[in-house]
């Protein structure tokens, strides 16, 4: 059940990244309404699937979709 929820969360996060470009964890929380824990679970899943990149910029961590 949790695995299906995380998979659903990844789709919403990918959609947000595709629409807005680079986003921070906080941005993703605001856009999705998800708690930070679920954001991290979904980002871990997307990282394992090599679908996202992490970019450190101005002391913030940004997430973007792989090209």
Beta carbons within 10 angstroms of residue 56's beta carbon: 8
The answer to whether residue 25 sits within a structural domain is: yes
Task: Quote the number of domains for the chain.
Answer: 1
The answer to whether residue 39 sits within a structural domain is: yes
Q: In this predicted structure, what is the pLDDT of residue 20?
A: 97
Q: In this predicted structure, what is the pLDDT of residue 37?
A: 92
Structural tokens at position 66: 């792989």
The answer to whether residue 15 sits within a structural domain is: yes
The answer to whether residue 37 sits within a structural domain is: yes
Q: In this predicted structure, what is the pLDDT of residue 31?
A: 96
The answer to whether residue 12 sits within a structural domain is: yes
The answer to whether residue 67 sits within a structural domain is: no
The answer to whether residue 62 sits within a structural domain is: no
Q: Which segments of the chain have a pLDDT < 70? A: none
Tell me the residue range of the domain where 24 lies.
Answer: 2-48
* Rounded to 5°, angle at Cα 17 from 6 and 46: 40
Q: In this predicted structure, what is the pLDDT of residue 3?
A: 83
Q: In this predicted structure, what is the pLDDT of residue 5?
A: 81
């Amino acid at each position: 059940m949790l695995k299906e929820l995380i998979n659903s969360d990844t789709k919403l996060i990918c959609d947000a990244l595709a629409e807005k470009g680079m986003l921070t964890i906080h941005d993703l929380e605001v856009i999705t309404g998800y708690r930070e824990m679920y954001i991290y679970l979904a980002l871990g899943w997307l990282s394992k699937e090599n679908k996202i990149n992490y970019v450190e910029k101005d002391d913030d961590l940004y997430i973007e979709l792989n090209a």
